[in-house]
Structure 1
Amino acid sequence: MLYEFQVLTDINIDALLGNYNDRLHWIKQRGYNPTLFCKELEGNINLVILRLEGNQAGGVFRNEDVIHIFKHQISEILAEHIVRDWEDKLLRKEIIRSCRHLPLDERNSVHQRAADFLKKCHDNESLNLLMNFSRKNRITHRLLDYISANLTMNVEGFINFCMQDYLTELKFAVEVALEELRNQKEYNDFINLLRYFVDTQAPKIYEVNLMMGAAGIFYLWDGQGTKIEENYINYYLDEMLMDEINLDDVLISILITIAPRKIILHNVANLNSEPVEMIKSVFKEKISQCPGCERCFQYSSEKDYKG
């Protein structure tokens, strides 16, 4: 019995070769001899010949069964080749097509964001693994259908003509990455505007201490320990009551209005929130963290801390 399938690919095949040998132990144990031959053609095209030889007349498995298993193994190997070795090239091709107006550094940013999105489009790591497996599994089934009806495959042609849904997924990833980049640029422009505003006005209070509590609650006091937020919160009270503005926006607005030259952040455990990150971006070198003071200790030890 002799079965042979030929693959044409212009992507590096080192990983494919190693994967081929790793996956075929079961077939080898049944006395069959799977081999692989590779030849480089013009234009850096690799011709890969996947061959299965052997005969198990009278065995548990018929030759046809082993050939089908071999085809399935080839499908899995080629699916991994596409996802691992081709996906980066396909992403770059889509970025060149849809983002040619962007400078090189921004195109590279879109590429990185798109690749990250394909690998980690959900916060749940288990869901990421499941979705990546599902994408590769769909490619495997499409490959198996093709291999069952053909003896030769050009990988790029197969992707372009038989995997339009896969290309649509990559296009969507690029669109998501492009939107993220636009949002990031708008955010950076907004931060720069706030920074300019802060740097060009006189501070109403030189030093502000900030302690973040649960559920967005915050406490502000000046260098002498006097609470300062109440007078400023009253200005936003009507909008807060109508749900037109939240506490995070109020905090940032208060600090922008005060424009302090020094901000001390307390209660380090609660400093990874979005408003605090924005405050750090706007005030930068004006920010310092409290190493631990009486108020920090009081907050951590009292459930009903009042500031």
Structure 2
Amino acid sequence: MIYEFTIATAHNTDTFLQELDNRLRWIKQRGYELETRLIQEPAVSCPTESKLLSFRLDGCDQRDSTFRNEDIVYIFKHQLSEVLAEHIVNDWESKLLWREIHRSYRKSSPNDKQVLHIKAGDFLRRCHQNESLNLLMNFGRKNRISHRILEHINENEFLAVEGFINFCMKDYLTEIKFAVEVAAEELKNEKEYNDFVNLLRYFVDTQAPRIKEVNLLLGSNGLFYLWDHTGCKIEEQYMQHYLDDLLLDDVSLDDLLVSILITIAPRRIIIHNAQELPHNESVEIIKQVFEDRIVFCRGCKRCARFLCEIEPGGKRK
């Protein structure tokens, strides 16, 4: 025997052992043997649900080996620390998120807790829109954990995963807590947004329409144009109320469009030139407030003529 180490963990030991076995094939191919024993009785310092895994690495005849036993032990420790880091992130992280949610948001409903768990997990895995950056950050997180584990392995012969996380990985637990806080803030904003949309929808549903049908066209210049079913422009009579705010830059054109449509409360909105429809919050509010009242024009004489009037060169873009 040239090295022995014991681990206590309560999660997914089969996957952990399979991954470790894959990582250690190189060592086994060089004549070294790894004996893995599952010790049923947990140590006094471990939770009762934990399983003890004992690893015993036996050497070979070094006279025919390029590597010294010390080199093999060094490689074994590195591989073990990397697999343990993946084990913590893949198998323990979900439990740690739940623990933080129950601790900090215990009064939240079961459904809200479930949403918090999903959002926090997504944030840890995909906190950036750039997928390459996400992969880099996840690799960096695992690498930090692996380095901390390796330091522990070099000084000890036993590691209890849960205790190691609680007492030696304070920075990792801070990341967990921050992810849950971000998720809670996002959930709060979503609820406030949904309440706002529901209020606007109620206002529109209970108000008599000032104009039953509104045609909406968005030009490539970012401006919008409104007319009724007869083809008469209608924005001027409603824009005057918001003109002062618009001149002072207190409202954007998108916000102005939402305000006008809410004020008119039409029974039907026909959207022309839909490909120019921007993907922003104001447009999403319009879609959610008016829902089945919205109809998308697939091309008509009226919008074609209107586009010829407003687009440069008289050609539709």
Residues 101 and 113 in structure 2, CA contact (< 8 A), matched pair in contact too? yes
Partner Cα distance (2:222, 2:169) in 1: 47
In the alignment, what sits opposite 2:45? none
Q: In the alignment, which of 206, 215, 229 is matched to residue 212 of structure 2?
A: 206
Q: How does 1:182-201 map to 2 (within 5 A)?
A: 182-201=188-207
* 1:36 matches 2:36: yes
1:48 to 46, 53, 56: 53
CA distance change for structure 1 residues 13 and 205 in 2, over 3 Å: closer, same or farther?
A: same
Aligned position for 1:57:
62
Aligned to 1:109: 115
Would the alpha carbon gap of residues 27 and 297 (structure 1) be closer, same or farther in structure 2, given more than 3 Å must change? farther
| C-alpha separation in 2, matches of 1:8 and 1:117 | 28
Task: Flag as ranges the 4+ runs of structure 1 deviating above 4 A.
Answer: 295-300
Cα distance in 1 for residues equivalent to 2:221 and 2:23: 52
Partner of 2:284: 277
1:285 Cα deviation after fit: 1.9
Which 10-residue stretch deviates more, 235-244 or 63-72?
A: 235-244
TM-score by length of 1: 0.93
* Structure 1: distance between partners of 2:197 and 2:25: 58
Aligned residue identity for 2:288: S
Deviation at 1:273, TM superposition (A): 3.1
Cα displacement string for residues 113-135 of structure 1 (whole angstroms, at most 9, x for unaligned residues): 11111111111111111111111
Residues 217-249 of structure 1, C-alpha deviation per residue, up to 9 Å, x if partnerless? 222222222222233223222212211111111
Residue 11 of structure 1 corresponds to which residue in structure 2?
A: 11
Q: 2: distance between equivalents of 1:53 and 1:292? A: 77
Range that drifts further, 260-269 or 123-132: 260-269
Where in structure 2 are there 5+ consecutive unaligned residues? 43-47
CA separation in 2, counterparts of 1:297 and 1:86? 59
Distance 1:303 1:16, change over 3 A: farther
Which moves more between the two structures, 138-147 or 199-208? 199-208
State the one-letter code of the partner of 1:29.
Q
Which deviates more from structure 2 when the two are superposed, residues 167-176 or residues 243-252? 243-252
Q: How many residues are treated as equivalent by the alignment?
A: 307
How far apart, in 1, do the equivalents of 2:214 and 2:237 lie? 14
Secondary structure of the residue aligned to 2:62 is coil
| Distance verdict in 2 for CA 1:296–1:135, change over 3 Å | farther
Deviates more, 1:249-258 or 1:284-293: 284-293
C-alpha distance in 2 between matches for 1:20 and 1:80:
10
Are the equivalent residues in 2 in contact too, given 1:56–1:63 (CA < 8 A)? no
Pairwise CA RMSD of aligned residues? 2.2
Q: Deviations over 1:68-110 (max 9, x none)?
A: 1100000000000000000000000000000011111011111
Q: Percent identity?
A: 57
| Partner AA of 1:28 in structure 2 | K
Q: How far does residue 278 in structure 1 lie from its aligned partner after superposition?
A: 0.8
What is the TM-score of this pair, normalised by structure 2?
Answer: 0.90
* Paired residues of 2:38 and 2:52 also in contact (CA < 8 A): yes
The letter for the 2-side match of 1:64 is E
Secondary structure at the counterpart of residue 265 of structure 1: strand
1:44 aligned counterpart, secondary structure = coil
Change (3 A) 1:296 1:37: farther
1:286-301 map, 5 Å = 286-294=293-301, 299=307
Matches within 5 A, 1:1-307: 1-41=1-41, 43-58=48-63, 59-214=65-220, 216-271=222-277, 272-294=279-301, 299=307, 303-304=311-312
Give me the whole-angstrom Cα distance separating, in 2, the residues matched to 1:215 and 1:83: 48
CA contact (8 A) 2:2 2:69 kept: no
Aligned mates of 2:265, 2:29 — CA distance in 1: 75
Q: Which amino acid aligns with 2:174?
A: T
Partner Cα distance (2:182, 2:221) in 1: 30
Q: CA contact under 8 A between 1:221 and 1:229: conserved in structure 2?
A: yes
| Unaligned residue ranges in structure 1 (runs of 5+) | none
Name the stretch that deviates more: 228-237 or 68-77: 228-237
